[in-house]
Amino acid sequence: MEKGEIKTSTDPAINGGSESEKDLLKKIYQSVKQETPIPIQTEIIGTIPSWLKGNLLRNGPGQFEVGEESVDHLFDGLSFLHRFIIEGGEVKYQGRFLRSDIYEKAMKHQRLVFSGFGTPARHPDPCKTLFQRIFSIFEMEFPDNCNVNWMKLGDEFYALTETPLLKKIDVDKLDVLDTVDIEKLVGVHTATAHPHCGRDGTTYNLGTTFSMRCKYCVIQVPPISKKNAGENAMSGASILSSIPASSYNPTYYHSFGISENYIIFVEQPLHINLFKVMLFSKLLGTRPMTECMEYHPDSKVRFHLIRRDDGTVISTHYTADAFFCFHHCNAYETDDGKDVVVDMCCFEDDDVLKRSTMDNIRKGNLHVEDCVVRRYVLPLGAETKEGGDNLVTMVDSEATATLSPDGSIHCIPEQLCDVSLELPQVNYADFNGRDYQYLYGTGGNMQKIHKVNVKTRRVETWSSPGCFPSEPMFVPAPTKNAEDDGVILSCVTNLADDKQPPFLLVLDARTLTEIARAVIPLPISLFGIHGIFV
C-alpha cells in the first residue's frame, strides 16, 4: 500500500486537487451497509507507538437513504458511531448506527418521518394522531439524530448534535442508555456540539433560548465528582451568563471559543427567522431549517466576551465585516493581558450550507477550498483611545482594530496561511485557550491534512492518491517534550480503487510522516464529522 507524501508551503500543488480526485467526492458519502457491533481486528501496516492507548470515538451521518427516499442535506444523514480501540500496538474497529427515536421510526416505516437541517418531512409522524400533531404547534419539537460529535462527562459518554437532546451511550456496546433533554435542565432550545472543558474540569457550552427576545446562554457543568457522577452527571448544569440577541431573529452558530479567562461568542449575520420556523415546521410542515435561515452580507459580525469566573459580559462592542464560520480554531490572551486573540476558519458567506445538499454532493460538487484561517485580535480596555488608531498592541500581528465614531471597535483580521483549512484541531489538552504554535486540519477539498505553524506561517501537508482523510485528532505523547510531540489520528476513506479498504491513519505530529495504518477489512466509508480520543 502506497504511503502518503509530505509537501511544504513552497509546493505549488499544496492547495486543491486534480479533477479526477474531485470526482471521487461523490463516493465518500455512501450509506454504511454493514454494522460491526463486535469489535474486529484491523491489519497494521507500520508500527503503532507502544504508548498510544485509548479509544478514538467518531460520529457522523452514516445513512442517507431510507426505503426509496433520501435525505436532501448532508447534515441529515442518520448517525453512525465509530470506535477504534487502540492498545498494545493493535487496533480494533467497531461501528453501529445510533438507535435514536428517528432511526427506529425510519427503519420501522421505511420512509423519512422527520424534518432535519436541510430535509423536509415528507410524511407526518405515523405514531401521532391528528390531534397530537395539531397540539404540537404549541410545543417545540427537536430531532434526536445526534450525528455530529461526542462528549465525555465524568465516566459518561454522549452523542451530540445541535438540538437540546443528548444521547447517553454505552461506549463498549455503542448502545443508547438514555436521552437527556437539556432544555428541561437550563431552558435552552439549541446547544452546540462543541463543548469545551476547562482545566479545572468545568464543562462549558453555548445555547440559544427562543422567545420574544431571544438570548444566548453560556451553560456550565461543574467538575464531576462522586456526588454528581453516574445518572446525575448533568444535574449540576446551570446558566453562567446570558446575552440578549442583537435582533429578533437569533444567529446560527456551530461552535465558540474559550481562553483562560473568557468565553468568546461570535454573533454572525446568518439568522434564524423564527416566524418561518413556526410557519414551516408547525403549520405547513414542509420546509427544513435551512429555508428558515437568512444571510445578511451587509450586517456586521459581533464578538462577545464573557468572563468565565463570574459570567460578566464585557460591554465593549466588537465588530467585523460579515463572514460565516463553523469552527473556532483556538483563542488566547496575550501575555500582557491587553488583547484577546481569536483564530477561526472563515467563509465569505453561507454558501457552503447550500453546497452541502446531497444532490450537489452526488454530482461531486461539494467544494470547501474557500475556507481560510483568520485571526481577529480584540483589544481590552481600549474604549478611551483615539479613533483611527490601531488599538492592537500584540507584537507580530497584522490584525488591526480601530475605534468607530459610535464607540464600537471594528476588527480587521489577518490570514494565518495560504491554504484552505477546515475541521481544525490543536493540542487541546495543553494548549487550548493558550498561546499556541501548531494548527491541524483538512484541506484541498478534504484530500489533505495540513499542519500550520501559526508563528512562521509554514504549512506542511500529508496526502495520498485517492485518500480522503477526516478531522485530524492530536494525541499528545506522554513525554510532552514539545507542543507537537504526539501523533495525529485520522479516519481515511480510501478510493484509490474499488478494492482499497478504509483505514485509521497514524502520523507523527511533528513531521506529518506516516507511522502506521490500521486497515479495516470492510468496504465502508469512514466519513464522519467530529470525534474525541479518550
As annotated, the binding site for Fe cation includes: 194, 254, 327, 530
Provide the total of helices (H) and of strands (E) in the chain, helices listed first: 9, 39
CA 465 to chain CA mean position, Å: 26
Q: Look at the block and give the residue holding cell 418521518.
A: 113
Q: How far apart are CA 354 and CA 486, in angstroms?
A: 37
| b/e sequence 450-489, b meaning 16+ C-beta within 10 Å | bbbbbeeeebbbbbbbbbbbbbbbbbbbeeeeebbbbbbb
CB 322 within 8 A of CB 269: yes
3-state secondary structure of 28: helix
Q: How many CA atoms lie within 13 A of 250 on its CB side?
A: 23
Euclidean distance between the first and the last CA atom of the chain, given in angstroms as a whole number: 29
3-state secondary structure of 516: strand
Q: How far apart are CA 82 and CA 527, in angstroms?
A: 10
Q: How far apart are CA 51 and CA 506, in angstroms?
A: 13
Q: How many CA atoms lie within 13 A of 49 on its CB side?
A: 21
Q: Look at strands 149-153 and 90-97 and give their pairing.
A: unpaired
- The torsion angle over the Cα atoms of residues 352, 354, 356 and 360, rounded to 10 degrees, is -120
3-state secondary structure of 334: coil
CA 204 to chain CA mean position, Å: 15
Q: How far apart are CA 371 and CA 390, in angstroms?
A: 26
CA 377 to chain CA mean position, Å: 22
DSSP for 397-458, written as a single string: ---EEEE-TTS-EEEE-EE--SS--EEEE--HHHHTTS---EEEEEETTTTEEEEEETTT--
Which stretch of DSSP H or E encloses residue 130?
Answer: helix 130-135
Residue ranges for the known binding site are: 194, 254, 327, 530
